[in-house]
Structure 1
């Protein structure tokens, strides 16, 4: 799995756990839904750390908690 796929999986998983939509996450994160959509559909291959930080703030989690998931272990570097 590459980083883009791992970020996508993690975002979707966190939304599922909290029973919120991407639209709701965008609102909570203060960013356009199109930004999240581009992460999920693969249009954005390299999400910025600032974007991930905003997602974390919207979910009320720390950045370290976002990356503390098995999906980020053994990433491909392609």
Structure 2
């Protein structure tokens, strides 16, 4: 997963946190995802969250994974611009 794609997901998480008035620590408690996992992702130390992590985050926001991932910035993202190195991660 490349930096731009990961940043789109981070922005989604932070936007949802702000709209619901919760902190990353609060999201950790609500989702069961460790504080360190969320911090590493939000602070760009890791770029590839597992689907289980995304599922837990989505549930904490009262969403399905499909709802969590269905937003304009992600829908507009083009994988065609990804490098071969990014493709090797899949």
TM over 0.5: yes
The match for 1:25 is 27
TM-score by length of 1: 0.90
Higher relative contact order, chain-length normalized (CA < 8 Å, sep 6+): 1
- Structure 1 or 2, whichever has the larger Rg, is 2
The match for 2:8 is 6
Query: Over the residues paired in the alignment, what is the CA RMSD in angstroms?
Result: 1.4
Confirm or deny that 1:36 pairs with 2:25: no
Aligned length in residues? 78
Q: Report 1:43-58 matches (<5 A).
A: 43-58=45-60
Q: Which consecutive segments of 4 or more residues in structure 1 shift more than 3 A? A: none
In the aligned structure 2, how far is the partner of 1:51 from the partner of 1:44?
A: 13
Which ranges of structure 1 fall in alignment gaps of 5 or more residues? none
Match of 2:76, SS state, is coil
